[in-house]
Amino acid sequence: MPLMVYPGYSFACWSQLPAPGWFAYDSFAVTGEPGREHLLAIITEEPLGLDWMPLDSRIPARTLSPNDIDSLLKLLQDLEGDRWTALSTFFDVLAR
């Protein structure tokens, strides 16, 4: 399966990811005010057909708009429950 954050790399389920030096981005940059950030990962059997890559290739991800989220929810509602999985976590951004 191809990975957007590792250009040109594909892996089979349960394989190990490449070493950190191989990543396309130095790190996951957190900017903005200190506080709690939420991260949601959605895994599907097939691509959802959404093009949410940032316009600037130096930015690894973008913040989704309310319209993006509505589109995603509509697509997920139309899929069988065993065709996708959602995983979430959070992390705290601390002031220096």
Q: What is the pLDDT of residues 19-58, one digit of tens each?
A: 656 556 555 556 667 888 888 888 898 888 888 888 887 7
Name which of 77, 9, 80 is nearest 45 in CA terms: 80
Report pLDDT for 2. Answer: 45
Percent helix, strand, coil in the chain, to 5, is: 20, 25, 60
pTM passes above 0.85: no
- Within a domain: 20: no
- Within a domain: 46: yes
- Within a domain: 73: yes
Quote the number of domains for the chain.
1
Tell me which residue range forms the domain holding 46: 33-93
Q: Which is more confident, 75 or 90?
A: 75
d(CA 64, CA 67): 8
Q: DSSP assignment, residue 14?
A: T
